[in-house]
Chains A and B, each alone.
Chain A
Amino acid sequence: MALEDFKADALRCTRCSYCKWIPFDLVKSHQFAKGCPSVDYNHFHSYSAGGRLVTMLSLMQGRSEVDDTVVDVAFKCQLCGNCDVACKVCRYDMEPLAALREFRRTLNEQGRVPEVYPKLIGNLREAGNFAGLPQADKATWADGLGLKRLGAGAKAPVLFHAGCRFSFDPTLRSAVRAAANVFTKAGVDFSIDPDEACCAGKAYDMGYRDDFTTAAAANLENWATAGITTIVTPCATCYSTFKRLYPDAAGPGADTPVPEILHTTQLADRLLKDGSLKPSKRVPLSVTYHDPCHLGRQGEDYEAWNGKEVKIYGQAVVYDPPRPRYIGANGVYDAPRDVLRAIPGVELVEMERSREGAWCCGAGGNVREAYPEFNAWTAGKRVEEAKSTGAEALVTACSGCEKNFAEAVATGGIDLEVLDVLELLERSL
């Protein structure tokens, strides 16, 4: 891929600004109508998806050059995908999110990245994780739980992949342990990998494609060797990476196909519905649920495609074969909600911006690491929205979201408990 692959998109962008808002049909108030944190924070049109397409075009046509501002424009974005959903309400021929990723990759190849990126990728290359923490501590989170561990020669069809943040961050320990405990209680036969490797999704978003492809190939290889057919993860980013980015890394007809990928909420939902889990204790709590971008909008099933653009009716742009449309509607929205509704005493109240219209937590696209103020601002906005529902707790299903919200609540002195879905479920078992 190259910038030029998105030249047509850039030329076909009509500067309508749909990419800045949630789908308009869903707007229920003045306050909660915005969809794009980047343009809402940074203001200039360039910080919207449409604006980035323009910047790409401007570079392609030699009208401007890559400078620090262009780097800022490209990377100061959570890649939350709201723009993609909103644009596609009317446009069948546009792929804004893919364009934004390509923009980053192009700049990365030129060595033009945010200041913190080299350190982050250095950590992955050297320590095997972006935090640069000892890989030996990866499974510390599971101490005392008596979980099966993958070892040399051991086979296990179901692998619980905690994800790096859940693995290392002590403040998130209760959430990841709750998930493991819940599945243990349900009698699920699963293992953890004490040498769990990073999904490397962040590398993809940073534009380090080779690092990503190498990491992905290694993971797929290891899973195949271990006979893993199902990955369960509590981290939405890992979920989306495995589900949507790994198949391309695997390549068509690969010997190492991608296993079944489940989010913990999906497995929990199954277990509740087949009777393996029976929540009995009342948990009287009003909660609102935040749809993580990577579980919702970007949690749709992957569909391989290798086709071309063709025209019908003279100029109408279509694809042969038809190109899959990731409209954001078919992500994992119902499973976490069904889990919450199954917990006696829990009252679920929705935020205005939910499902494919959800406002980002702020952490995605490596914004948490590269632009901490912007990250905090974005999270603050979401916490404000959660609080406005009157709920006592903000519940979600992603390590990045949970971390961001916990910090935002603490910084803002807001009376709102931040929980993982599985944490709440555990309380009722």
Chain B
Amino acid sequence: MPISDEAYAALEDIVGKENVSRNPAIMDGYAFQWLADLVRPNLSHFMPRPVAAVMPASTEEVQAVVRLANKYKLKVKPHGTGWYHWAAPINDEHDTMQLDMRRMNKMEIDEKNGIAIVEPYVIHAQLHAEAIKRGWTCTIIGAGCSCSVLAAACAFAGMGPAGFWMGGHSENLLGMEWVTPSGEIVRSGSFGSGAGYVCGEGPGPSVRGVMRGSIGQRGGLGVFTRCAVKLAHWPGRTDWPVTGTVPAYRLPIDETFRVYTLAMPSWDAWADAYHKIYDNEIGFIFHRQFNLAGADLAPAFWLMYTDPTKQLSDVPAILEEPGVAELTEEMRMSFQIVLAGRSKADIELQDQVLDDILAEVGGWKVERYCEKDMAEFTNLALNRLGHKHLNFVWAGGYLGSWMQAGPPDWVKGYVPTASAGLERDAKDGLLVQCGGDAMMGPGSAYPGGGNTCLEQFVSYDPADEASTRAGIKHMEDAITDAVSIGYPPGKEAAYLEMGHSDDRIFKDWAGAKQPFTFIFQRKFKEHVDPNDVGDRMYNYIPEEYEP
């Protein structure tokens, strides 16, 4: 149902005429989403259209908009940069207002204590740039530096390649400001007690415990309007001297840094290497990054990519060049690591420790990728994560499957099945054939080591219906494959969920091993969202579905 004129006029009063719209074309700008084609009827690239798009500039405006939603029975769906189909309205039956938070974009850094305070539209690139100037750095999420820090920290996941050393945003959170669906303002930790951003826990039981968990609310339960995260020390140059020609920008490697691509002889060795990296506490950034292009093609792909005169059609020729076939075999089980020393002695020790580890597990440094050009590119790519949209490079469509997190010994258990599955599903050419192993993942999904994960990068052409259907089939196959070897469904299940009816989803959650999780969340939702202005991105099961 269209938004009433009365409600719309009220929105104009709150945010200003120029900051609200209900024009159909503007609305489609919000309905259009990556992954929509995999879950919507007729492979549509459009999620449900919002009834209005609103851009508040302050917490007070957000609160007023949320209260308006309660009055006029509208749903509220905020987003930061708005990337992922669940950032959009999710249900055709709902009348949803999209809150585009881009006008809330302020940030500050407490240099002394290494704390950054951000509003929703501060992206990681901005935070990283400001931190570096001051000798700090920050974890950047796996989706890349184009994404909102706050959205990742408060409302989604928050982990990335630097998580082993710098933590994920959840571990780094020092305070959140949350406008609940009923329009109350809740601030977590010391922030709520008026004591600044020093501590994200408490008071007593941590209030932040209901604000986000292993994953956040993804816009489904109110609006986050500010948060504080802790930073990590940056022992490098503070002037960010990027060189090179787009897209092959490079960052010279400071003398107390090392940047390597390491290869392993087996998955057992890979798991051993990860444990040794954990135990020896090296690995400033530690990530299996380059393999996203597919183990058969990745080495050639990155050689192509780092030559600005080349393009994708050059990859086959590069594969034929002398040494590249051998390089491809060499790099089948490889990952990237950046070491950062606080002193010359420290980095020399780290280097020796790494050599010891390689000797113990039978791994080695991939010489070509450790040469200056590739190493400087790797240095920049991993530190700034500004090339993460290469997920889409092959054909414009990417979906991630698998990515179940667990100890390295557990994760390596699904690699063969995941690889065989992609190889099988790509056999008829409807998905990009890059080798079965196109898996990428952080060295550790938790600071200090422990769980890792590997995400399969599956490339399809969203402009091609048959290819899109093959992508959907792959996601369904990946669930079957995982369950068949005793693993839980992975990331693809979260994508597919968006296309399932409420009835199906509620039944799924009711059938979970621990349904009380969703019962608790329903009861909590009833308290903070009595008029149901949120959506099921905050997972719950209605009373009638309780087992």
Please say whether the chains A and B touch (CB closer than 8 A).
yes
- Which residues of A come within 8 Å of B, CB atoms? 7-8, 11-18, 21, 23-30, 33, 43-46, 51, 54-55, 57-59, 63-65, 67, 69-70, 73, 85, 88-94, 311-320, 322-323, 325, 327-329, 356
- Which residues of B come within 8 Å of A, CB atoms? 18-19, 21, 23-26, 28-30, 32-34, 37, 45-46, 53, 55, 81-83, 100, 102-103, 107, 122-123, 125-130, 133, 144-146, 240, 242, 245-247, 249, 251, 297, 308, 311-316, 380, 384-390, 392-398, 426, 429-434, 459-464, 467
Residues of B within 8 A of A30 (CB): 107, 122, 126-127, 129-130
B316 and A17 form a contact (CB under 8 A): no
A15 and B100 form a contact (CB under 8 A): no
Inter-chain CA distance A254–B508, complex, in Å, is 66
A12 and B25 form a contact (CB under 8 A): no
Inter-chain CA distance A109–B176, complex, in Å, is 51
A23 and B386 form a contact (CB under 8 A): yes
Q: Of B29, B146, B297, B312, which one neighbours A21 at CB under 8 angstroms?
A: B146
Q: Which residue of A lies closest to B381 (CB)?
A: A25
Q: Which residue of B lies closest to A324 (CB)?
A: B311
Separation in Å of the A89 CB from the closest CB of chain B?
5
Q: Which residue of B lies closest to A7 (CB)?
A: B463
Residues of A within 8 A of B433 (CB): 313-314
Q: Is the interface of B mostly helix, strand, loop or mixed?
A: mixed
Q: A12-B397, A24-B384, A318-B313 are in contact. Are A55 and B28 (CB under 8 A)?
A: yes
Residues of B within 8 A of A28 (CB): 129, 133, 240
Q: Which residue of B lies closest to A88 (CB)?
A: B247
A57 and B45 form a contact (CB under 8 A): yes
Separation in Å of the A423 CB from the closest CB of chain B?
30
Residues of A within 8 A of B397 (CB): 12, 14
A317 and B394 form a contact (CB under 8 A): yes
Inter-chain CA distance A26–B145, complex, in Å, is 12
**The 5 nearest A-B residue pairs measured at CB:** A12-B396, A24-B386, A90-B389, A46-B29, A314-B429
Inter-chain CA distance A327–B23, complex, in Å, is 34
B25 and A67 form a contact (CB under 8 A): yes
A16 and B32 form a contact (CB under 8 A): no
Separation in Å of the B292 CB from the closest CB of chain A?
12
Q: Of A21, A27, A58, which one neighbours B24 at CB under 8 angstroms?
A: A58
Q: Which residue of A lies closest to B148 (CB)?
A: A17
Separation in Å of the B485 CB from the closest CB of chain A?
26
Residues of A within 8 A of B297 (CB): 313
Inter-chain CA distance A58–B144, complex, in Å, is 28
B389 and A18 form a contact (CB under 8 A): yes
A44 and B53 form a contact (CB under 8 A): yes
B130 and A15 form a contact (CB under 8 A): no
Residues of A within 8 A of B129 (CB): 27-30, 33
Q: How many A-B residue pairs have CB under 8 A?
A: 227
B396 and A11 form a contact (CB under 8 A): yes
Which among A30, A69, A93, A320 has the greatest number of chain B C-beta atoms within 10 A?
Answer: A30
Residues of B within 8 A of A44 (CB): 21, 26, 29, 53, 55, 100
B387 and A90 form a contact (CB under 8 A): yes
Residues of A within 8 A of B426 (CB): 314
Q: Of B30, B126, B393, B434, which one neighbours A29 at CB under 8 angstroms?
A: B126
Extra pairs beyond A70-B25, A311-B395 (4, CB < 8 Å):
A16-B146, A51-B29, A315-B432, A325-B311
Inter-chain CA distance A319–B46, complex, in Å, is 28
Inter-chain CA distance A13–B462, complex, in Å, is 9
Residues of A within 8 A of B396 (CB): 8, 11-14, 91, 93-94, 317
B81 and A17 form a contact (CB under 8 A): yes
Inter-chain CA distance A33–B129, complex, in Å, is 9
Separation in Å of the B461 CB from the closest CB of chain A?
5
Which among B45, B53, B133, B387 has the greatest number of chain A C-beta atoms within 10 A?
Answer: B45
Separation in Å of the A66 CB from the closest CB of chain B?
8
Residues of B within 8 A of A45 (CB): 26, 29-30, 82, 100
Inter-chain CA distance A316–B395, complex, in Å, is 5
Can you report 29 residue pairs joining A to B where beta carbons are below 8 Å apart? A8-B396, A11-B37, A11-B45, A11-B463, A12-B392, A16-B34, A16-B146, A18-B146, A29-B126, A43-B55, A45-B30, A54-B28, A63-B28, A64-B23, A64-B25, A89-B246, A312-B316, A313-B432, A313-B433, A314-B431, A315-B395, A315-B459, A315-B460, A318-B313, A319-B313, A320-B313, A327-B246, A327-B247, A327-B308
Which among A27, A73, A329 has the greatest number of chain B C-beta atoms within 10 A?
Answer: A27
